[in-house]
């Protein structure tokens, strides 16, 4: 069954706020930061207008914003917040506590450069700095995917077999403040998809008191980290299943939920990217194919858990990868490239990989620049 929906023009931040509104969280703990602020402003308006029955907590910092969500998650209710850049850094302690503590919080991150120098524009350095914090990370390519990914996030995070916080990422300004058409289902259909949070991961029970985050020895510590790793592996299947179910319900999917392929199944060169660069890469593929060149594209949608099996299988049948990163591990290489090279090496796949760093500091990455990089990669010998 595909439900009815209407097209509405909205920004990416509005799309995130609508998805949160439709999921009906009970606690929103919030602190503003550009370019995220309008997400929580919208939600505060919905609460004030009586459209959303939620406790809207105004706090003094981003650290406290996530702390408020942690307290709510421990009490067994659906929670939501959002942040960006320096605010995400200020949350750092609680980002790790939420991830390692297996708290099902949904928190969009509107990607913005880290200072210094001071910039309000986008790259992926902020969220990528927390790739090891135990959060599911989804990188969206447009406003529609923001709505869809946030809505799916509650189902994924709140599954007791997963119990992980969920971080859908959207490029600052390019998505967050740019208006585009979004297919918007009704509030009723959206909530029916998400469902009530009736079987919480953690719940306060005065009859059965418990302690969270107490001192533990190595044996318990290692077990907890092993359990987290196993939950991440289970999350892969959950994301794939959720993508399929979402498609059956709303008529839209994003590849298999983990990666998305554009163009032919086999090509001389595969352009690999995340986020909004993937849309430009699709245009680049079209231009290159018109010139008679064999090029396709693979978008990595889910960065954590990392879709190792899918990337390896696709790389096996393609001849060369060009990975475009919008973040960098200083002293090494682009972070997506590092991960891809590692999984190919671990699986004895000898498909050559080249990398380009583009778009740092909000630098524009038009399809023409990707076309030039692809042609250069096709000419080079590895």
Say if CB 13 and CB 84 are below 8 A apart: no
Identify whether residues 245 and 339 lie together within a single domain: no
Decide if 62 contacts 32 (C-beta within 8 A).
no
Domain count for the chain: 2
Residues 282 and 139 in one domain: no
pLDDT in tens, the chain (382 residues): 677 778 999 999 999 999 999 999 999 999 999 999 999 999 999 999 999 999 999 999 999 999 999 999 999 999 999 999 999 999 999 999 999 999 999 999 999 999 999 999 999 999 999 999 999 999 999 999 999 999 999 999 999 999 999 999 999 999 999 999 999 999 999 999 999 999 998 887 788 887 788 899 999 999 999 999 999 999 999 999 999 999 999 999 999 999 999 999 999 999 999 999 999 999 999 999 999 999 999 999 999 999 999 999 999 999 999 999 999 999 999 999 999 999 999 999 999 999 999 999 999 999 999 999 999 999 986 5
Q: Which domain holds residue 24?
A: 5-250
Asked if 371 contacts 339 with a C-beta cutoff of 8 angstroms, the reply is: no
CA 167 to the chain's CA centroid: 5
Burial class (CB in 10 A: 0-12, 13-18, 19+), 177: middle
Tell me: the pLDDT tens digits for 114-131?
999 999 999 999 999 999
Tell me which of 204, 232, 250 is where a domain ends: 250
Look up the CATH number of the domain holding residue 371.
3.40.50.920
Nearest Cα to Cα of residue 137 among 316, 329, 281, 336: 336
Output the pLDDT for position 382: 58
Q: Is residue 280 domain-shared with residue 178, that is, in the same domain?
A: no
| pLDDT score of 312 | 98
Indicate whether 174 and 230 sit together in one domain: yes
Write down the pLDDT at residue 338. 98
234 with 203, same domain? yes
Tokens 């990607």 correspond to 111
Q: Which residue has the tokens 């069954």?
A: 1
- Which of 250, 271, 303 is at the close of a domain? 250
Is 207 found in the same domain as 232?
Answer: yes
Instruction: State whether 73 and 196 are in the same domain.
Output: yes
Q: Could you report the per-residue pLDDT of 2-37, keeping only the tens digit for each?
A: 777 789 999 999 999 999 999 999 999 999 999 999
Among 22, 58, 60, 66, residue whose Cα is nearest residue 40: 58
Q: What global pTM score does this model have?
A: 0.97
**219 and 267 part of one domain:** no
Are 245 and 266 found together in one domain?
no
Task: List the CATH number of the domain containing 229.
Answer: 3.40.50.970
Residues 293 and 325 in one domain: yes
| Half-sphere exposure in the Cβ direction for 51 (13 Å, CA) | 14
| Sheet with 321-325, side-by-side order of all strands | 259-262, 295-300, 269-273, 321-325, 353-357
Residue 188 burial (CB count, 10 A) = 10
Please, which contacts does 39-47 make with residues 24 or more away whose CB atoms are closer than 8 Å? 39/13, 39/82, 39/108, 39/110, 40/81, 40/82, 42/13, 42/14, 42/17, 42/18, 43/17, 43/80, 46/17, 46/21
How big is the CA angle at 352 (ends 346 and 357), to the nearest 5 degrees?
100
């Amino acid at each position: 069954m595909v439900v009815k929906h209407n097209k509405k023009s909205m920004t990416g931040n509005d799309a995130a706020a609508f998805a949160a509104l439709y999921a009906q969280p009970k606690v929103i703990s919030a602190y503003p930061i550009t370019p995220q602020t309008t997400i929580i402003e919208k939600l505060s308006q919905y609460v004030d207008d009586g459209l959303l029955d939620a406790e809207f907590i105004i706090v003094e910092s981003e650290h406290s914003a996530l702390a408020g969500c942690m307290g709510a998650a421990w009490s067994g209710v659906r929670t939501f917040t959002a942040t960006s850049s320096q605010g995400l850094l200020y949350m750092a302690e609680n980002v790790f506590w939420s991830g390692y503590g297996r708290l099902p919080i949904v928190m969009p991150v509107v990607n913005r450069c880290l200072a210094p120098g001071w910039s309000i524009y986008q790259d992926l350095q902020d969220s990528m700095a927390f790739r090891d914090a135990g959060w599911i990370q989804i990188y969206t390519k447009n406003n529609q995917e923001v709505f869809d990914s946030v809505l799916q996030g509650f189902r994924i995070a709140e599954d007791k077999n997963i119990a992980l916080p969920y971080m859908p990422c959207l490029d600052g300004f390019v998505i967050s403040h740019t208006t585009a058409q979004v297919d918007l289902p009704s509030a009723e259909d959206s909530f029916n998809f998400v469902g009530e949070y009736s079987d919480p991961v953690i719940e306060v029970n005065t009859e059965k008191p418990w302690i969270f985050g107490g001192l533990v020895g190595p044996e318990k510590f290692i077990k907890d980290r092993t359990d987290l790793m196993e939950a991440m592996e289970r999350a892969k299947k959950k994301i794939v299943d959720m993508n399929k179910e979402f498609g059956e319900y709303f008529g839209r999917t994003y590849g298999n939920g983990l990666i998305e392929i554009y163009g032919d199944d086999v090509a001389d060169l595969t352009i690999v990217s995340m986020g909004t660069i993937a849309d430009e890469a699709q245009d680049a593929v079209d231009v290159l194919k018109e010139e008679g060149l064999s090029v396709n594209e693979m978008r990595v949608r889910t960065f954590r858990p990392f879709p190792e099996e899918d990337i390896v299988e696709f790389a096996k049948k393609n001849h060369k990868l060009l990975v475009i990163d919008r973040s960098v591990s200083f002293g090494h290489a682009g972070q997506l490239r590092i991960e891809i090279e590692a999984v190919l090496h671990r699986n004895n796949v000898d498909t050559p990989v080249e990398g380009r760093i583009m778009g740092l500091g909000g630098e524009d990455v038009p399809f023409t620049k990707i076309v030039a990089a692809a042609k250069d990669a096709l000419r080079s010998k590895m």
